[in-house]
């Protein structure tokens, strides 16, 4: 019952926040001396990159002790494509063979997301699943051991609100889909309701000797959380927006409720994010690099879960006009 109340509270807070900022956003107009749109409305992109994910389990009062336990995703380089034509957007990426941390182990990583928003607000529904992880090996001559049969999953939505949308374009700073003609920054807020779960099919003390971590993972824990963050982003532009560098930082926290325990108390969760996007933003072609870092601290009842994600990518894009003939009589 407590979990239902907390879930309802998360939804109510998020819905009220969306409603309030929507009403406020309708009153703002774009300052065209700062923000300009491109004549070509559609884009196709290709973006190679590399990502990494690290999980650390620690006791409430433990720091770098022998009882800490670490897992890593079998991360690799990837190649992705993105197409936005009229009202349809398609995005897909796949791992590059031979670039995994452990090339002899096939562990599946699935990531799904959508990108929606207005001039002032952004909505990012997402789903991630790590089916199998790696254990950093302590023995010489071997870097990792496979941890099969364990699955980490999360699903949620990042909702962002930018306070200076009339003179600052997050579309230009983050995606190069508009022109930021003059340098400008803004404070922004992000709210993230999220569900997370760990599922271990065949628990074994031969894999995990730390009893506290074993009890946590073998119980198949799942929890819901609501995280609020505040941050600042600034877009340094040159030559009227042809070149730009946009660093950003976000800090915040919130609460979580574990769903498969009898404890009714809420636990704390903290998060810090930072990224930087830089490149060339031309009328037909554009090219930019993006580096992203996320540090999420989840305080569970048995052990704390510390997750660090990083991603680096290079995006090359081409803008094009609407086609002369409709596609399937719809586009």
Q: Which two tokens stand for residue 257?
A: 């409720």
pLDDT band per the 50, 70, 90 thresholds, residue 105: confident
Distance CA 270, CA 299 (A): 9
135-178: pLDDT as tens digits: 988 766 668 889 989 999 999 999 999 999 999 999 999 999 99
Q: Which two tokens stand for residue 117?
A: 């928003």
pLDDT band per the 50, 70, 90 thresholds, residue 328: confident
Q: Which two tokens stand for residue 210?
A: 């730390």
Domain residue limits, the chain: 2-320
Range 88-109 average pLDDT: 88
Coil vs helix vs strand at 218: helix
Distance CA 67, CA 208 (A): 10
Percentage of residues in the chain having pLDDT higher than 90: 63
Beta-strand ranges (E) seen in 75-219 are: 77-85, 88-95, 108-113, 116-117, 121-136, 144-162, 179-180, 184-200
Other residues' Cβ atoms within 10 Å of the Cβ of residue 144: 18
Nearest CA-CA partner of 165 in 191, 189, 186: 186
Task: Decide: 225 and 269 in contact? Cβ < 8 Å.
Answer: yes
Task: Decide: 228 and 191 in contact? Cβ < 8 Å.
Answer: yes
Domain 2-320 is in which class? mainly beta
pTM: 0.86
110-119: pLDDT as tens digits: 888 888 889 9
Distance CA 242, CA 211 (A): 56
Beta strands 77-85; 144-162: pairing state: unpaired
Length of the chain: 331
State the DSSP code for 193: E
State the DSSP code for 60: T
Nearest CA-CA partner of 45 in 85, 87, 90, 82: 82
Residue-level pLDDT at 20: 47
Distance CA 308, CA 299 (A): 14
10-49: pLDDT as tens digits: 444 444 444 444 444 444 688 999 999 999 999 999 999 9
Nearest CA-CA partner of 120 in 173, 171, 181: 171
Distance CA 195, CA 153 (A): 8
Classify burial at 185, counting beta carbons within 10 Å of its beta carbon; exposed 0-12, middle 13-18, buried 19 or more.
Answer: middle
């Amino acid at each position: 019952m407590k979990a239902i109340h907390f879930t309802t509270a998360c939804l109510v807070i998020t819905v009220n926040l969306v409603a309030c900022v929507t009403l406020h956003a309708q009153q703002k107009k774009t300052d065209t001396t700062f923000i300009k749109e491109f004549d070509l409305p559609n884009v196709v992109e290709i973006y190679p990159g590399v990502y990494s994910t690290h999980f650390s389990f620690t006791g409430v009062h433990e720091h770098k002790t022998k009882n800490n336990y670490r897992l890593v995703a079998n991360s690799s380089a990837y190649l992705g494509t993105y197409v936005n034509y009229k009202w349809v957007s398609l995005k897909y990426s796949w791992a590059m063979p031979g670039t995994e941390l452990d090339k002899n182990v096939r562990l599946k990583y699935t990531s799904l997301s959508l990108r929606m928003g207005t001039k002032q607000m952004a909505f990012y529904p997402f789903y991630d699943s790590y089916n199998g992880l790696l254990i950093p090996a302590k023995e010489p001559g071997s870097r990792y051991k496979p941890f099969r049969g364990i699955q980490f999953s999360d699903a949620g939505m990042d909702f962002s609100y930018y306070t200076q949308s009339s003179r600052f374009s997050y579309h230009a700073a983050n995606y190069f889909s508009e022109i930021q003609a003059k340098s400008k920054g803004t404070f922004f807020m992000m709210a993230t309701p999220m569900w997370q779960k760990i599922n271990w099919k065949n628990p074994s003390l031969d894999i995990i000797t730390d009893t506290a971590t074993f009890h946590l993972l073998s119980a198949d824990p799942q929890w819901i959380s609501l995280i609020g963050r505040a941050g600042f982003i600034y877009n340094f532009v040159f030559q009227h927006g042809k070149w730009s560098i946009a660093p950003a930082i976000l800090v915040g926290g919130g609460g979580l409720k574990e769903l498969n325990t009898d404890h009714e108390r809420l636990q704390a969760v903290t998060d810090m994010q930072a990224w930087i996007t830089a490149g060339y933003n031309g009328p037909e072609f554009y090219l930019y690099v993006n580096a992203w870092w996320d540090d999420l601290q989840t305080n569970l009842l048995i052990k704390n879960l510390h997750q660090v994600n990083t991603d680096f990518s290079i995006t090359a894009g081409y803008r094009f006009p609407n086609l002369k003939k409709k596609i399937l009589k719809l586009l």
